[in-house]
Amino acid sequence: MPSFGDTHTLTQQQIANIEAYILKLNGIDRAEMRNPGMQPRSFFLMLVSVYALLFLWFGGLWRKGRP
């Protein structure tokens, strides 16, 4: 990697070049990306649901082991 000067920061163009390179390595065409990822609210609700189910499941297994 080249040195980035005294501040060790990248310019916007360098960031865009690295992003384009990584997307190309993964075979992703940036023009086809319309809505990447999940909405924050959907992600939060899914995460809470998964943790609640895991908590109930592990809690049930823990109680079964007790006399």
What is the per-residue pLDDT for 11? Answer: 85
Q: Which residues contact 20 (CB under 8 A, 6 or more apart)?
A: 30
- With CA atoms as reference, report the closest residue to 30 among 19, 14, 39: 19
What is the per-residue pLDDT for 49? Answer: 95
Calpha distance 41→44 (Å, rounded): 5
- With CA atoms as reference, report the closest residue to 20 among 8, 6, 31: 31
What is the per-residue pLDDT for 61? Answer: 65
Number of residues assigned to the chain: 67
The domain spans of the chain are 12-64
Q: With beta carbons less than 8 A apart as the criterion, state whether 25 and 19 touch.
A: no
What is the per-residue pLDDT for 4? Answer: 62
Residues lower than pLDDT 70 in the chain: 1-5, 36, 61-67
